[in-house]
Amino acid sequence: MSMDSDSDGWDEVDEKETVFISCIFCGQQQPSLEYAVSHCKTDHQFNLSRLKHKFKMDCYSYIKLINFIRSVHAQPSVVMKCTQPLWEDDKYMKPSVPDDPWLMLDFEDLPEETDGDAEVISLPKEEILKAEIEELKKELESVKQGNVAVVDAVREMRQVMQGLVGGDEVEKNTRQKKPHQGSGECDDDEDDSYFGTYAHFGIHHEMLSDKSRTEAYQAAFYQNKDAVNGKVVLDVGCGTGILSLFASKAGAAKVFAIDKSEIAYSAMDIIRENGHEEKIKVLRGRLEDFKDLPKVDIIVSEWMGYFLLFEGMLDSVLMARDQYLSKGGLMLPNRCSLHIVGVHDEDRHSQLLAFWSDVYGFKMSCMQRECTKEAMVELVNSSAVFTSSSALLSLDLNSCTAADACFSSEFELVAERDGSLTALVGYFDVHFDLSSPVILSTSPLAPATHWKQTLFLLEEPIPLTSGSKVNGVLECSRQAKNPRALKITIALQGHKAKVYYLN
């Protein structure tokens, strides 16, 4: 029987195609899952065998781990350094990627690796863990607010294209990394984690939506154009480039905008879109790594963190001042002050502390102590303000040093009515002392900002009558294991000193 070439009687045998596996961190393609696991170990220091031993993981825990990494875009250093599995929630059993090849790994047959035990024991524990969890929360929030995966893919494509065409609009710093400049040192992973939080849409949307913050800088430039016209400006930590745009529009001759995070690439697009690319030059990298910047007439930065000093970015701003600001140049803002005030809010105190006295019929009083270990960042109702305020710290940005951020200050608060002191609240003001001065306040009596206020909850309320005084001492220092975080000790007269951590 003859059969023509179009007949279905013959089954054609196709060569088996190689199915490539993408790295869960960088997307690089590997010829098999085994190669992908090896790539993660050598290129990202992500060691599945070590994690398996460290957390006694089974195949279900492995599935949660992969889905956790994909859903929050976790960095390998965060996963490897955590002291407890961050992926235990059963919600991570749901695949983040349909037919995910990474879930096909025979995890039970993967050998456990114990050589790294000593390294795991020596890793920073409670304080670093909290900072890492906070980073993951921010990354998760950014996923909710926008398709981070698409944004990152576009950003990577932009970098490749710039490399192909030899573009240098965004100058990428490749010099050797340096430790954080201050009383403590941040290693590269910690710094990369910090800068990574500023690479996503969410945090910039929050800051730009803060009208008090953004309009204060805008007013400082637009209402003082004589001080800006024809000047060279350095924008430290430029983010989206909004402050650089304000400076350029106010008449600056040249603006150097520096940011280490990948938002620098978006900043260049924003600046070009608004027609300011001739005056604004974006430099990507740590300020500490650049050696050939020119002298400038103005340094502007939105460096303030919670309780003014959280994140430690002031160090970089002061280094910029010492190395690049011309004699008689301007610091914007040029002055800042940190304050404390007492509040009376028994409902909030009860929500946070009394709750633990009866939890579904069980006492959990030990949790009350845990609640008061951490300073909380939240908006305080102006009606809760109960005492006068007291200045803790005043910094002149023209002359202060990084060491001034670690301080001890006495304070006195006067009760303005009868009631109970349930918490102390920290806030800060920043000043632009120009011909048309501008003040930005984060006081609970001022319009709300994204910095909110810093709440130091008292374990027991202190009854006060109108006119009575509360005296105390507040000490602020950097945490030993994370110099960007703060350790704050408050001693009220007649009461035991209490340590709070701002992580």
Q: What is the 3-state secondary structure (H, E, C) of 269-318?
A: HHHHHCCCCCCEEEEECCHHHCCCCCCEEEEECCCCECCECCCCCHHHHH
Radius of gyration of the chain (CA): 27
Active site residue 459: no
Which tokens in the block code for residue 385? 């303000």
> 308: which DSSP letter?
B
Rounded-to-integer distance, Cα 173 and Cα 284, Å: 6
Show the tokens assigned to 55.
């957390």
Catalytic residue from among 302, 374, 416, 459:
302
Omega of the bond prior to 333 within 30 degrees of 0, cis?
yes
Q: What is the DSSP string of 120-152?
A: HHHS--HHHHHHHHHHHHHHHHHHHHS-HHHHH
237 within 8 A of 179, measured Cβ to Cβ: no
Residue with tokens 């709750």: 355
User: In this structure, what token pair is assigned to residue 287?
Assistant: 């300020």
Q: Which residues contact 225 (CB under 8 A, 6 or more apart)?
A: 250, 251
How far is 495 from 460, CA to CA, in rounded Å?
10
Q: Are 490 and 456 in contact (CB under 8 A)?
A: yes
CA 74 centroid distance within chain: 14
Catalytic residue among 132, 190, 262, 311: 311
Instruction: Say how far apart CA 173 and CA 167 lie, in whole Å.
Output: 14
- What CA–CA distance (Å, rounded) separates 168 from 170? 5
Question: End-to-end alpha-carbon separation of the chain, Å?
Answer: 82
Contacts of 277 (CB under 8 A, 6+ apart): 169, 268, 271
For residue 206, indicate whether it is catalytic. Answer: no
Tokens encoding 401: 């040093």
Q: Please give the helix or strand (H or E) that residue 254 lies within, else none.
A: strand 254-259
Return the number of other C-beta atoms located less than 10 Å from residue 385's C-beta. 19
Catalytic residues: 302, 311
